[in-house]
Structure 1
Amino acid sequence: MLLAIPALVAGTACGTDSADDSGGSSVEAPEGAFADNPATGTPIKIGLINPEGGPAISMPENRQAAEAAAEYANAHLGGIAGHPIEVVSCAAKEDPASNQDCANQMVEQGVSAVVVTTSGNGAAMVPIITGAGIPYLTTSGTSAAELTTPGTYVLSPGFPGALAGMASYAAEQGYKKVAAYVIDTGTVIASTEAVGKGTFDAAGVELQVAPVTPGTPDSTPQVSAGLADGTEAVAVIGDGTMCTSVLKSLQTLGATQAKMVIQPCLDPAVVDAVGDTLDGSLVFIGADIDSDEPEAVLYRAVMDEYAPDVEIGGFTSTGYAAMLGLIRAAQGVQGEPTAAAVNEAIKTAKDVPMPAADGITFTCDGTAMPMMPTVCSNKMIRATVAEGGRVTSPVVVG
């Protein structure tokens, strides 16, 4: 659940497509984005695994955004190389058994690729899916399996990139100690310890990791402990519920330390719950959905047309970005769109525009972050949180 990232984008921030001439969206989109180009070939099955219905973590908006991206592609991009996309969904409850079951369902359904919107249990799914020769694609990986297994594609630096960005910013500001409040699910804590501490140590900053159990309503004891002994900044790494708990506790304790957060903390429910506590925080994200950049405008237009009742803020864009990223990367598929053919298309695609990411591109040839060969880009977006959870002053970093 962590972070989060086709040549539709050419140069202008906005085009002329609108409700009258773009296929229905009331949000203006980049010119040509809503061209009439329906898919007419044989269907291609694309698996979709999303955290949904679990006791502590449920993000149905991610799935709805991914489905919207597929509908958009089927109507306006010719699907994948002319093949209409048939989405095969599975709701994972964010526990190893449930995620393994979803992975097995994807194999049984004979999908040509699997999109995972976000998960802390990638290690439970990757061996099953890639072992069947099916490419596994997500926007952000949190496990060693996702970051190193051939046949797995992680579009943005995501979790490792956010940690690197936080470490770099902390060093720039002269901070000597940062407390990271991290959701204790799957392999997230282990990954933070393994990747984060090394990254912060290299920047000359001490990182203290404070685990927070999913669904914890009041994390004041953990937050208070993390603020001890000269902590100069805090990082919040978790889902929206955890963000709310930690940020409320920081507010209760009157904490004045600088705050660094990830995209789930911008969920409207979090913003409503914590008031102005987020104002001035640095956020490390894989997507820009608020600006006039062409990709941000396209995201809003697609969601307005195909998922008008879905809240587009928070972590919703990860579903859209993962699905549309796969669609864009697989457009060069040759012949029948089998899993092997889609895998080859993704591996050989170059400089693919990252959905909703301000001109960032991805290439999945193992060179973006050699120590993590499945990561397809080393860039992400750093921005400042303004009143109402708005993202301002986005800057591409990495």
Structure 2
Amino acid sequence: MALSLTAVAATGCGSSNNSSSDTASAKTTAAAASTTASTQAAAPSADVLGTPDKATGKPITLGLLNLESGPVTFPEYRQAAQLAVKYINEYEGGIGGRPVKLVTCATDGQPATSGRCANQIADDHPTAILGGADTGAPGAFPVWERKHLAYMGGIPFTPVESNAPNAVQFYSVSVGDNAAMVQYATEKLGVKKASVIYTDDSQGKATGLGVIVPAFKAAGSEVKAIPVAPSAADLSSAAAAAISSSPDAVYVNTPNACPAVLKALKAVGYSGKLMGIDPCTSPQALKAAGSSAEGLYFAQPFESLDSGTPGANLMMAAINKYGGSDIALDSIAQAGFSSVMNVQAALNGVSDLNEKNILAAFKDGKSHDNFLAHPYTCDGKQLAGNTAVCNAYQLIKQIKGGKVTTVDGQWVTGAALYKPKS
């Protein structure tokens, strides 16, 4: 995933509660789609959920900060996490037999707002923090550290979540997915020369110039970088520049302008290999791009929800049972559900849930099952410069017939290609 945000004014935290927040109807943007609406129609029966095992007693409170206000929002993360909590409380005995309670606060992507939200959550004395999809998370970490709270899962949008000593991350985005795509492109698709079109802002540079371009170089490929202004209306010149060197592939790293870039590439006659980022493949983006997106490759950390795997079937059955038909079933939602499931599995046998014991349950150097994703190992060695990231593996997917398909089902890592500047 890659994300481009415009600055917005900081607002107050959303209500902190155990149900839907006031921002539940906030506009969902196409940050990282992995399925289409047709997935829901093929959802499995409730039998997949198993035998009920209802949790009882005093709840275990987990705090959750999530970006739900501003130009880019991710309410689906919280919505899916809440469904997963309902499932584990009714079918998995919660954590250690006790029910889990989510206390949430809506943020706007600004560190100052996330800091205020963190203090509000801290007043509820949570046992730990469930990571969310929050680009302002760096503002909250001083609170988590001061209160000695472990931070588990979520979407590591910034280096803070990926390196905090009190954090464990079950997958990598922005770094892991793009590095894996480059690995596949050079090893399996034979890409020797590539052009990278990136948004000329801080996030675009961090991903385009900090991950994608150096990964191609590390793989031995020639690479040309083409910046695009965030407000650019005419993308034909960028498309023409990208194909002027006759590349084997064009890599599109423009979250908000992806459809326009893909159309521009088609308009200038490009018919070669296309690579892109997760936001390029949302239902809205695919609809806008039309046939220009056909054939586009991208990497994603999760099994598709229409894959028929046990994890995918369970999540879909939970969505059907608990009324999640309005949730945007993208990889952000999968991350919310998956994080809860991983937390339950790791902590179910931990009797004293303090920060030290919680982190030890994950950071034991052993391989753990990762719901919907590749197994994770929290040894600080899975991805250079990302010590809290426990898994850098991704699945390669492709747009065929206007839909997201999984290429071969093989997990790919590009960790060896990523060498962050010291």
Cα distance change on mapping 1:226 and 1:70 into 2, 3 Å: farther
CA contact (8 A) 1:215 1:242 kept: no
| TM superposition shift of 1:34 | 3.0
In the alignment, what sits opposite 1:28? Answer: 44
Following the alignment from structure 1 to structure 2, what is the Cα–Cα distance between the partners of residues 60 and 318? 12
| TM superposition shift of 1:220 | 5.1
| TM superposition shift of 1:237 | 4.0
Paired residue for 2:249, among 217, 233, 236? Answer: 233
Paired residue for 1:130, among 139, 145, 152? Answer: 145
| TM superposition shift of 1:287 | 1.0
Is 1:199 aligned to residue 215 of structure 2?
yes
CA contact (8 A) 1:364 1:375 kept: yes
Is 1:278 aligned to residue 272 of structure 2?
no
In structure 2, runs of 5+ residues without a counterpart are: 4-40, 414-422
Is 1:309 aligned to residue 323 of structure 2?
no
CA contact (8 A) 1:162 1:285 kept: yes
CA contact (8 A) 2:2 2:203 kept: no
Cα distance change on mapping 1:314 and 1:333 into 2, 3 Å: closer
CA contact (8 A) 1:143 1:188 kept: no
Paired residue for 2:350, among 333, 348, 364? Answer: 333
CA contact (8 A) 2:181 2:298 kept: no
**Residue 106 of structure 2: SS of its match in structure 1?**
strand
Is 1:243 aligned to residue 258 of structure 2?
yes
Cα distance change on mapping 1:98 and 1:174 into 2, 3 Å: same
In the alignment, what sits opposite 2:36? Answer: none
In the alignment, what sits opposite 1:375? Answer: 389
**Residue 195 of structure 2: SS of its match in structure 1?**
strand
Is 1:179 aligned to residue 200 of structure 2?
no
In the alignment, what sits opposite 1:267? Answer: 282
Cα distance change on mapping 1:217 and 1:378 into 2, 3 Å: same
Paired residue for 1:43, among 54, 59, 81? Answer: 59
**Residue 364 of structure 1: SS of its match in structure 2?**
coil
Following the alignment from structure 1 to structure 2, what is the Cα–Cα distance between the partners of residues 72 and 213? 44
Following the alignment from structure 2 to structure 1, what is the Cα–Cα distance between the partners of residues 200 and 51? 45
Following the alignment from structure 1 to structure 2, what is the Cα–Cα distance between the partners of residues 184 and 377? 29
CA contact (8 A) 2:48 2:313 kept: no
| TM superposition shift of 1:164 | 1.9
CA contact (8 A) 2:49 2:317 kept: no
| TM superposition shift of 1:229 | 3.5
CA contact (8 A) 2:111 2:136 kept: yes
Is 1:100 aligned to residue 115 of structure 2?
yes
Following the alignment from structure 1 to structure 2, what is the Cα–Cα distance between the partners of residues 348 and 238? 38
| TM superposition shift of 1:61 | 1.8
**Which amino acid counterpart does residue 81 of structure 2 have in structure 1?**
A
CA contact (8 A) 1:233 1:258 kept: yes
**Residue 48 of structure 1: SS of its match in structure 2?**
strand
| TM superposition shift of 1:235 | 2.6
Following the alignment from structure 1 to structure 2, what is the Cα–Cα distance between the partners of residues 326 and 147? 17
**Residue 325 of structure 2: SS of its match in structure 1?**
coil
> How big is each residue's C-alpha offset from its partner over 1:140-198, in whole Å with a ceiling of 9 and x where there is no partner?
43433222221111211333222222222232334344333445676563355334443
| TM superposition shift of 1:291 | 0.9
In the alignment, what sits opposite 1:189? Answer: 205
Equivalent residue pairs, number: 372
Say which is worse superposed, 168-177 or 151-160, in terms of deviation. 168-177
Following the alignment from structure 2 to structure 1, what is the Cα–Cα distance between the partners of residues 365 and 387? 15
Is 1:389 aligned to residue 389 of structure 2?
no
CA contact (8 A) 1:290 1:391 kept: no
In the alignment, what sits opposite 2:105? Answer: 90
In structure 1, runs of 5+ residues without a counterpart are: 4-24
Cα distance change on mapping 1:26 and 1:167 into 2, 3 Å: closer
Following the alignment from structure 1 to structure 2, what is the Cα–Cα distance between the partners of residues 121 and 178? 33
Paired residue for 1:342, among 344, 354, 358? Answer: 358
Following the alignment from structure 2 to structure 1, what is the Cα–Cα distance between the partners of residues 163 and 403? 34
Say which is worse superposed, 275-284 or 202-211, in terms of deviation. 202-211
Following the alignment from structure 2 to structure 1, what is the Cα–Cα distance between the partners of residues 66 and 227? 23
**Residue 123 of structure 2: SS of its match in structure 1?**
helix
Q: TM-score, normalised by structure 2?
A: 0.76
| TM superposition shift of 1:203 | 0.3
Say which is worse superposed, 177-186 or 69-78, in terms of deviation. 177-186
| TM superposition shift of 1:31 | 6.7
> How big is each residue's C-alpha offset from its partner over 1:290-346, in whole Å with a ceiling of 9 and x where there is no partner?
2122122222222222212323245432222233222323223223x3444433333
> How big is each residue's C-alpha offset from its partner over 1:344-391, in whole Å with a ceiling of 9 and x where there is no partner?
33334843322223xx21122324336532111232211222223232
| TM superposition shift of 1:238 | 5.9
Following the alignment from structure 1 to structure 2, what is the Cα–Cα distance between the partners of residues 165 and 374? 18
**Which amino acid counterpart does residue 101 of structure 1 have in structure 2?**
R
Following the alignment from structure 2 to structure 1, what is the Cα–Cα distance between the partners of residues 157 and 271? 29
1:52-63 aligned at under 5 Å gives the runs 52-55=68-71, 57-63=72-78
Q: TM-score, normalised by structure 1?
A: 0.80
